[in-house]
Amino acid sequence: MAIQAGRNPQAFDGLVNTPVCRGSTILASSLEEWEARKLPNNPYASYGRFGTATTRALESSVARLEGGHASLVFPSGLAACAHALLAVVRSGDHVLITDSVYGPTRHFATHVLSRLGVEVEFYGPHETTGLRSRLRRNTRLVFVESPGSLTFEIQDIGAIAEQARTVGALVIMDNTWATPLFFKPFEHGVDISIQSATKYLIGHSDALLGVATANARAWDRLREGAHDLGQTAGPDDIFLALRGIRSLGVRLRQHESNGIALAQALRAHPLVRRVLHPALPDDPGHRLWRRDFLGASGLFAIELQPVGQAQLSTLFSRLQLFGIGLSWGGYESLALPVGTPTRSVSQPALEGPLIRIHAGLENIQDLIDDFSQALSAARLALS
């Protein structure tokens, strides 16, 4: 499906890839055609802002891969998160958001939704049955992210969705870590699933894009909310996402293999206190991960033993194959010091620095050797 979805060579003179369609104005050949293009809730639908063949190819591909009703493209992953939230809530609503949510999504909720009169409440990512006590008659949505950002907690999405239904709340999920290949959100009761296509869908660290996919229940609200706020994305970035999806399966298998092997190797180093990776058998979320997920990506974290800034600086200065930078999901390996994650109700018990690692597509033994020698150099600097 990842190879075939969104392609229609017969419509483009046999071209195997949907071409890059650039355009703002879309002409009608007659007044009757112009009138026929109008939609009941969008009389201006015949306009480049509402998509071209390139846009529709990506949206239909992601919707099929995730198992949703339809998708919309946004200029970034955060834009997809923000507009999915805005499409659902109104002043006076109450929303529940996992405490392990992506940091910019947290900031948007606390600074923008709160300013608009929406009450934002965070819940612990391990809360399942206890979530029922937080639900209210005006709870409009529950936002989940699994694994959690930076600390990689696995949530029981199905159980959370079942409870959300008791008050009519929608469930929105950030599914970027697993991608549509390794977690099927709509099979677990999610209403809107979000992908930061910047990460694995594009896969080459050369474009920014987001996609939100809805089931039939939530589609009209997502579509109308996005259109009201004028969201659109450029065709070149959309084409790069379509290109990335074609190799997503083989890339993810390598990211998964490298990530697990690297996590297992680093766990044995004396400077590493803990590895946070749900695919490891001793991880607290491993049982749920095995039950609900079809695989793992290359992103995880390690907690070091207590060290000072000088030792941390030594570690990063010695790394040769791991860049220091935001984002992830590309072919390259990254290591990022993340400090103490912002939490409201579930602060993780950290004794040493937390480092987020993305295992890229390099040779796995090279990655293990590089990180191990950097850790050893930092440990030696302690003495």
Q: Which of 38, 49, 90, 217 is catalytic?
A: 49
Higher per-residue pLDDT: 195 or 46:
195
Beta bridge partners of 39: 42
What confidence score (pLDDT) does residue 104 get? Answer: 97
Mapped onto helix, strand or coil, the DSSP state of residue 342 is: coil
Mean pLDDT of 317-325: 97
Whether 42 has a pLDDT exceeding 80, the answer reads no
What confidence score (pLDDT) does residue 66 get? Answer: 96
Cα 33 → chain centroid: 39
Give me the sign of the Cα torsion angle 116, 214, 207, 205.
positive
How far is the C-alpha of 162 from the C-alpha of 165, rounded, in Å?
Answer: 5
How far is the C-alpha of 277 from the C-alpha of 259, rounded, in Å?
Answer: 9
CA angle 274, 249, 187 (to 5 degrees): 80
Give me the sign of the Cα torsion angle 327, 332, 337, 341.
positive
Nearest to 242, CA basis, from 215, 296, 203? 203
How far is the C-alpha of 300 from the C-alpha of 275, rounded, in Å?
Answer: 8
Q: CB-based contacts of 343: which residues, under 8 Å, 6+ apart?
A: 99, 100, 122
Q: How many residues does the chain have?
A: 383
Q: Which of 199, 223, 251, 343 is catalytic?
A: 199
What confidence score (pLDDT) does residue 383 get? Answer: 64
Known catalytic residue: 7?
A: no
What confidence score (pLDDT) does residue 82 get? Answer: 97
What confidence score (pLDDT) does residue 129 get? Answer: 80
**Tokens at 79, concatenated:** 């834009």
Q: Which of 102, 200, 223, 274 is catalytic?
A: 102
Greatest Cα-to-Cα distance within the chain, rounded to the nearest angstrom? 81
Known catalytic residue: 49?
A: yes
Mean pLDDT of 103-107: 97
Beta bridge partners of 176: none
What confidence score (pLDDT) does residue 64 get? Answer: 97
CATH architecture of 248-382: Alpha-Beta Complex (3.90)
Segment of 84-88, 228-232, 346-350 carrying the highest mean pLDDT:
84-88
Give me the sign of the Cα torsion angle 149, 352, 376, 267.
negative
Are 198 and 329 in contact by the 8 Å Cβ rule? The answer is: yes
Q: Delimit the CATH 3.90.1150.10 region(s) of the chain.
A: 248-382
Whether 329 has a pLDDT exceeding 70, the answer reads yes
Cα 20 → chain centroid: 25
Whether 112 has a pLDDT exceeding 90, the answer reads yes
Known catalytic residue: 199?
A: yes
What confidence score (pLDDT) does residue 354 get? Answer: 97
Mean pLDDT of 104-130: 95
H or E stretch including 375?
A: helix 364-382
pTM of the model: 0.95
Assign a CATH topology to domain 9-246: Aspartate Aminotransferase; domain 2 (3.40.640)
How far is the C-alpha of 302 from the C-alpha of 368, rounded, in Å?
Answer: 14
Q: Delimit the CATH 3.40.640.10 region(s) of the chain.
A: 9-246
Phi, psi of 25 (to 5 degrees): -90, 130
Mapped onto helix, strand or coil, the DSSP state of residue 165 is: helix
How far is the C-alpha of 37 from the C-alpha of 21, rounded, in Å?
Answer: 19
Q: Which of 156, 174, 191, 370 is catalytic?
A: 174
Residue 73, sorted as left (phi over 0), alpha (psi -120 to 50) or beta, turns out to be beta
- Helix axis angle for 364-382 and 248-267, nearest 10°, is 30
352: DSSP letter: S
Known catalytic residue: 38?
A: no
Tell me the per-residue pLDDT of 199-215, one tens digit each, with 9 for 90 and over. Answer: 999 999 999 999 999 99
